[in-house]
Amino acid sequence: MLSFKQTYKKYSAPILIFSIFTIIGIIVGSLRGIQYFALFSGIGLTEFIARVIVIARPQYLQAVRRAIQIVLAVLLFGGLSLYFGVNFQFEQIFFDFQAGIVTGALIQFVIARLIIPFLCGNAFCSRVCWDGAVFEVLNPQKPITIKRKEWLAWLYIALLIGITVLVSWQFTNPADPNFDNANILLRRNWIIGQNIFIISIGLIMSYVGGSRFYCRMLCPFMTISSLFYKFSFQKITPVKSDECIKCGKCNKVCPMGSDIMKNVAEKHKVDNKLCILCERCVSSCLKKVLTISHKAPK
């Protein structure tokens, strides 16, 4: 029987994550409406449940993570995006900017890409993003043959911003505050069209360039949040490097091209700024060399 202190220590990470997301939910919900409280506290609750299950049954880590990612994908994309018409995609921030309003796109961007990366890097991409969920389910694990080109990722961001200016100027801004039914329909069609584009590019190009092609090469959210990866409180950390048998499984399963073996050999945390904290490397390691942690590597 564990003491209160031991129990708290064991579950401190899920409690911390749940508390942070609930606080964010209360703040944003009080400013922007109940759906934002539901969004952030719901993410915190699902991650809390997942972490508690995984502490008891670590062998189900990947199954639990995927199940939660799919549930959140259905709720966020089906509910908030298609039903409420909230577009969380990057270009919506610039449509909103031109229309002089603030919507879920900017809120999601600031919290998920500018604040949460200090806590857990790009974990949003392995837990919450619905495009990421599709890539997880449909994308076979493919060797990475095309590596990220930083200039291409920034060019894509410039292109997206240019498109929003052109569409708003020449056609209609889907974020126009004078919404009528036609504009809501336009926004929904934009959301559907853009997600089809992302998923198609991501799936097709993965066969050419390797797993999570869109995420590694183009996604503007990744380009921004990866800037803060080095400050992340939690990272994949070797905890018993000396027991590594150099089997190579961790490197093989990583969808983002991390050289985990090299980091383990150097007793260093995973230093790939594209790491999405999916923990596939953790699950694949029979020697239990790796974990998510804020502690120093050993």
Instruction: Return the structure tokens found at 20.
Output: 């942070």
Q: Is the CB of 164 or the CB of 173 nearer to ligand SF4?
A: 164
Tell me the per-residue interface mask from 230 to 269 with ligand SF4, x by CB under 6 A, - otherwise: ------x-------xxxxxxx--xxxx-x-xx--x-----
Q: Is the CB of 167 or the CB of 222 nearer to ligand SF4?
A: 222
Cβ 5 to ligand SF4 shortest distance, Å: 30
Determine the interface stretch with ligand SF4 among 142-150, 155-163, 179-187, 272-280 (rule: CB under 6 A). 272-280
Q: Which residue is nearest to ligand SF4 (CB)?
A: 132
Q: Is the CB of 121 or the CB of 168 nearer to ligand SF4?
A: 121
163 binds ligand SF4 (CB under 6 A): no
Determine the interface stretch with ligand SF4 among 19-27, 68-76, 102-110, 126-134 (rule: CB under 6 A). 126-134
107 binds ligand SF4 (CB under 6 A): no
Q: Is the CB of 13 or the CB of 173 nearer to ligand SF4?
A: 13
**Could you say which of 39, 116, 175, 270 contacts ligand SF4 (CB under 6 A)?**
270
123 binds ligand SF4 (CB under 6 A): no
66 binds ligand SF4 (CB under 6 A): no
297 binds ligand SF4 (CB under 6 A): no
Kindly identify the residues of this chain, within the stretch 168-227, that bind ligand SF4 according to CB under 6 A.
214-215, 219, 221-222
26, burial (CB in 10 Å: exposed 0-12, middle 13-18, buried 19+): middle
114 binds ligand SF4 (CB under 6 A): no
Instruction: Return the structure tokens found at 131.
Output: 């495009």
276 binds ligand SF4 (CB under 6 A): yes
For the chain, give the secondary structure using H, E and C: CCCHHHHHHHCHHHHHHHHHHHHHHHHHHHHHCHHHHHHHHHHHHHHHHHHHHHHHCHHHHHHHHHHHHHHHHHHHHHHHHHHCCCCCCHHHHHHHHHHCCCCHHHHHHHHHHHHCHHHHCCCHHHHCCHHHHHHHHHCCCCCCCCCCCHHHHHHHHHHHHHHHHHHHHHCCCCCCCCCCHHHHHHHHHHHHHHHHHHHHHHHHHHHHHCCCHHHHHCCHHHHHHHHHHHHCCCEEEECCHHHCCCCCHHHHHCCCCCCHHHHHHCCCCCCCCCCCCCCHHHHHCCCCCEEEECCCCC
Interface residues with ligand SF4 (CB under 6 A) are 125, 129, 131-132, 214-215, 219, 221-222, 236, 244-250, 253-256, 258, 260-261, 264, 270, 272, 275-281, 284-285, 287, 289-290
